[in-house]
Amino acid sequence: MPENEWVRIIPLGGLGEIGMNMFVVETTDDMIVIDAGLMFPEEEMLGIDLVIPDFSYLLEHREKVRGLILTHGHEDHTGSLPFLLKELPIPVYGTRLSLALAAEKIREQSLDADLREVAPREPFRLGGLQAECMRVCHSIPDGVGVALETPAGLIIHAGDFKFDPTPVDGKLTDYHKFAELGDRGVLVLLSDSTNALRPGFTPSERTVGQALEEIFRAARRRIVVACFASHIHRIQQVLDVAAGMGRKVAVHGKSMIANTRIGADMGYLRIPPGVLVRLDELRHLSPAETVIIATGSQGEPLSAIARIAAGEHKQIEITPGDTVVFSARVIPGNERSIARTINQLLRRGAEVVTEELAPVHVSGHPCQEELKLMLNLTRPKFFVPIHGEYRHRHHHARLAAAVGIDPEHIYLAENGDILEFTPDKGGIVGKVAGGRVFVDGKGVGDVGDAVLRERQHLARDGMVVVVVGLHRETRAVVAGPEIIARGFVHLQDQDALFDAARRVVTEVLTGASEEERGDLALLKENVKVALRRFIQKAFDRRPMILPVIVEMEGNPGA
């Protein structure tokens, strides 16, 4: 293999966060993208709907991009696909279920897409590169890892995986294929770091079914199970347990209904005969013979569970003795919203079961022993921990060193870093745009850090608006100053501090030089500075101050 052959791996998302996964593999002639995920906004991202990767590097090199491979159908790996395809209509490769879920998102955006189905262990070409997928167990069916043959060597992206010995669908992670690739020689391994701090092995998904069976058997009235809409295996287990106990099941929530339909139509979800009913049919049944599978496991304000908990749902009302199961892990940042929802359910008399009380959730990601097993199966020359915050990837790097990977060959990269590898060498050689792009309503990228800081400022300290009318010619004050406060303090006309604030503004305007009076922008800035100083001293607060100075016709002496 020639010494000057190289391959670059460029993470555009997925390093530094759990979500927004997106990787570019680049050679001299070709670019392949692996996944196009999104991230849901963090608490301080006020008003933001979604966070997606910065695609600008791909758009700058669009002539080289041969296609995109999906590892599985979760939002954090597929959610930004419609946004990318609007700008760059490239072929999308994936397994049957991954493409079906992606197609649903693409249709919602009224886009056409070139979707190409691939199967595990069946090689396919993208430009000058050969790719192959390897089956992995995860919390959604049809998950795969990806192997790419490049001029510099073999690259493996392990996908989101775990080594579940008893998967619900009977489809094991392909140990043999990963070992075969390891025997061929792996240049670089990219591997999931989500659970790198957890010792041992991730429990099998089947343990959740056993826990649900005990909960269902003890439940006296209606059962509501909140889980992720994409967790087809979890939905399967709820259906199976309910059928075994003679209960009818209704699914609720737009994404839950869509995914259940897609899963059943494609054969990934086996619905026992006569079990599934419409939500409106529940009123004809005794609560003791019904189950509802709903969205809202993260306490999302508009989700089915949140509306049920708040007593705002038109069809479902919680009554004492009902059981609500949160069959999902808490995503960091959602603790408050979940706690609020649980508190509301408990006040209404429900029995609430979470993973702290019973094993009603297991992760779809590998713990430490599985991470070491993947490293030992593939035995890469170079290793890049992915899919996690820095702490997760830091501990994954330590595990890699413990199983014999040269610490000098382990790279804790960041989004936008250019990792370049030859058959013998590797390193970070540069950087591209790899930041976060905020989706705010229909705006994509319109909101930046400056706007977010303003929103945070408003949320924290409120706003004070000062309205003043100046005579167009003499610049004398003919109206106001009027002061309006929002989210700060409620100033009344009779308040001494209100009068003092008005005097501060008046003094600035009447004391201005002739040059300052002729410059409205300068007058506004002087008013802002003086009022900010006064409010900070009087209230120890820093609200956003918006001076509005209007030129008017009028009698200065009126």
Q: Which of 74, 252, 365, 409 is catalytic?
A: 365
Strands (E), 83-218: 92-94, 115-117, 124-126, 129-135, 144-150, 153-157, 186-192
Using alpha carbons, select from 539, 531, 491, 486 the residue that is nearest to residue 509.
531
Active site residue 169: no
Q: Residue 202 in contact with residue 164, Cβ under 8 Å? A: yes
Give the up-direction half-sphere exposure of residue 396: CA atoms within 13 A in the CB hemisphere.
Answer: 32
Measured CA to CA, the distance from residue 218 to residue 214 in angstroms comes to 6
Tokens 């306490």 belong to residue: 299
Output Rg (C-alpha) for the chain, integer angstroms: 29
- Judge whether 80 and 52 are in contact, CB under 8 Å: yes
What phi, psi does 529 have (nearest 5°)?
Answer: -65, -45
Which residue in 35, 192, 417, 440 is the catalytic one? 192
Total length of the chain: 558
Secondary structure element (H or E) that encloses residue 178, with its range: helix 175-184
- Structure-block tokens of residue 525: 């800035």
Q: What are phi and psi of 526, to 5 degrees?
A: -65, -40
**Residue 313 bears catalytic tag:** no
Q: How far apart are CA 14 and CA 386, in angstroms?
A: 7
Catalytic residues, by residue number, are 192, 365
